[in-house]
Structure 1
Amino acid sequence: MNKQTIEYAGVPVGIAVPEDGLFRFIAVKFHVFDLDQRRFATLGQLSGAVHSHLSTGERLAA
């Protein structure tokens, strides 16, 4: 698997990069920088962390 774009509400917020059997998140939006460089076991866990982090209702700029 190559890099995969991670989106929230249709806006790309980062990429997932496979690394040692895990997925490293590289943030491209300020709103998710707290998650930058974290590693996740699955893409589902990564997406869930992004959704949970952004669930405050803050709107993303494209």
Structure 2
Amino acid sequence: MFKKNIILFILGIVTVIVGAMLKIGDSIDNTDVILAIGLLIEIVAIIGLILFYKKSKT
């Protein structure tokens, strides 16, 4: 479970970076969509990591 959350977290970061790069390049109209997907993945990963951390502490 922990590994899955870390992979999701890294995937989210990569997606956000790619989205930001495309936004700078401004070559695609769907950059906002890519950034939104990246942020969604980030939120899910962060929530997952927090939940895992709380579980491992108890």
**Bigger Rg, structure 1 or 2:** 2
Looking at secondary structure, tell me which structure has more strand per residue. 1
Higher helix share: 2
When the two structures are superposed, what TM-score results if normalisation uses the length of structure 2? Answer: 0.29
